[in-house]
Structure 1
Amino acid sequence: MKLLTIGLTFLLSSSIIYGSTLISASFYSQVLAGTDGLGWDNRYGVYGTAFRETGTFPVILSILLGLIGVMLVVKSIRKK
């Protein structure tokens, strides 16, 4: 039961971090594309540039938390 709780907590944390990263990238993309904007990279577009600048570390962290959470949930279910 303890592994299940920890795994579900990791999954919830992962989704919150990932969602927050997407929201912050969308706000920052408005800054990049504004009239006095900072500019953006043509290869990635406005949103892609904002996502790369704000979201690299949080996305990696959320992926790791999600994978660990799934492994803990599966381990807990198999244990029963």
Structure 2
Amino acid sequence: MSDLKREELMRAAQEVLDASPPGSFVAFKFTCRRCGERNVFEEPNKLFERGECVRCGLDQPVDSGGFLLAMRVDPSPRPGLN
């Protein structure tokens, strides 16, 4: 899947969060313009205007990107599963 522009990215992330269980969050990602490294912002649910590449250090505007969804899993046993 290719990167989405900021507005579309924010809309898609909100739609996914709205349909996810409580405690879920997204982590936004962007691709470095210089080296191609895929970077993930550590702060959940926040798409920063700029990002620094973890590989080459380039500080760059984040005009597009993607996200990953993290959901909490209920560790309590479920009936019928062993």
Fold conserved between structures, TM > 0.5: no
| TM-score, with length taken from structure 1 | 0.28
Instruction: Work out which structure has the larger RCO, using CA pairs closer than 8 Å and 6 or more positions apart in sequence.
Output: 1
Higher normalized helix content (fraction of residues): 1
Q: Which has the larger radius of gyration?
A: 1
TM-score, structure 2 as length reference: 0.27
Flag the structure with higher strand content: 2
